[in-house]
Structure 1
Amino acid sequence: MITGHVFIATSLDGFIARSDGDIAWLLERDDPAEDHGYDDFIADIDVIMMGRGTFEKMRAVRPWPYHRPVVVLSSTLTRSDLSEDLLDKVRVANFSPEEAMRMLQSEGHRKVYIDGGLLIQSFLKAGLIADMVITSVPVLLGEGRRLFGSIPADISLRHEQTKSFPSGLVQSHYRIEA
């Protein structure tokens, strides 16, 4: 059975980026001395699925930071939009969340990291997220790109654990209740 998993940071008021996509506020708070659990999280992931916006932010980062296959869900990007060095690392697909998960399951994948605000929202609406690790950064942005959008019905969560860090970050793990 394939499952979707979220590992993301937000401002205290629930934004994942400023309105223009800027995440400098997040990078300024990153303390390399603190282990926020990303390495342990990603070690158990088979494939990363990200939205176009997240890919656009990451596409120029070198060295390429991902050591898992990446699938970008987009209705506007194509393989020809990828740089030569990413052709064997990134795949672009124009699928619904359900179609994308069926494709990945048929390829033998079991745990998928879902990354990007709109993508996370669409996967939540489709019932394809098993759990979420959300790290709150102690900053108020006032406006920007929200992690969560409107949903057709309540989504019940079960709190698994919360950790706080000396930097002020607070990380909570929630399981989606079926």
Structure 2
Amino acid sequence: MGRTLWHCHIAVSLDGRIARPDGGVEDWLAADYPAEDFGFGAFLAGVDAILMGRGSYDAVRRMGDWPYAGKPTVILTSRALPDAPPGVMARAGDIAAIAAEMEACGHGRVWLFGGGQVIRSMLAIGRLDLLEMALIPVVLGEGIPLFPAGTPEVALRLLQCEAKPRGALHLVYERVA
């Protein structure tokens, strides 16, 4: 069993927002910047499990059917998940213990789905290996930040920078050891 790779694949606006204040992304992201332009299908195929915050989970559920069937998913929340899809479970408590449990399951690649609080917490315990971003050329002005206040300093090294249609960039960074 190898080491778990913690991989965040996320879309972000030029001003560092991952969603509008209400969690919405559909109007500024989905139509003009399809996920497949940023290798999302291949990425998702290589994911063994997902770690997601409650706000992100609720936003995905509002969009309809659960799109990640077959991917064990841990939702960081202290509230129950009524009608959770198969393979989705709620967890609360120490993030390091939750991460260690996911690693013990033998997951090779875990998608850090978001939101910003999850990413901040995982950075704080040294569990973000790859940060892959679709940088979208829009300034939202307000919304949910990718890196909320209190995010620890971390050095990253650029692995990939690819120009995409309509001025977007596909960026991949790795954490510097």
> TM (normalized to structure 2)?
0.88
2:99 is matched with 101
SS in 2 for 1:49: strand
Q: Which moved more, 1:154-163 or 1:108-117?
A: 108-117
Q: Which moved more, 1:130-139 or 1:100-109?
A: 100-109
1:138 is matched with 137
Aligned residue identity for 2:92: N
Preserved CA contact (<8 Å) 2:14 2:136: yes
SS in 1 for 2:165: coil
TM superposition shift of 1:151: 4.3
Preserved CA contact (<8 Å) 2:51 2:111: yes
Structure 2 unaligned spans of 5+: none
1:2 is matched with 4
Output the CA distance in 1 between the equivalents of 2:92 and 2:160.
Answer: 35
Following superposition of structure 1 onto structure 2, how do residues 7-46 of structure 1 map, counting pairs within 5 Å? Answer: 7-23=9-25, 24-31=27-34, 35-46=37-48
* Alignment equivalent of 1:72, drawn from 66, 72, 75: 75
SS in 2 for 1:35: helix
TM superposition shift of 1:51: 0.3
SS in 2 for 1:101: helix
Output the CA distance in 1 between the equivalents of 2:108 and 2:130.
Answer: 14
1:110 is the counterpart of 2:112: no
Superimposed CA distance per residue, residues 40-88 of structure 1 (whole angstroms, 9 cap, x where no aligned partner): 112221101100000011124443211311110112x22xx3316x1x2
SS in 1 for 2:148: coil
Q: 1:145 to 1:152 in 2, by over 3 A?
A: closer
Output the CA distance in 2 between the equivalents of 1:31 and 1:93.
Answer: 31
1:159 is matched with 158
SS in 2 for 1:127: coil
Output the CA distance in 2 between the equivalents of 1:30 and 1:96.
Answer: 35
Output the CA distance in 2 between the equivalents of 1:153 and 1:66.
Answer: 30
Runs of 4+ in 1 over 4 A off after TM superposition: none
Q: 1:38 to 1:152 in 2, by over 3 A?
A: closer
Q: Which moved more, 1:49-58 or 1:143-152?
A: 143-152
RMSD: 1.8
Structure 1 unaligned spans of 5+: none
Identity of aligned residues (%): 34
Q: 1:22 to 1:62 in 2, by over 3 A?
A: closer
Preserved CA contact (<8 Å) 1:2 1:101: no
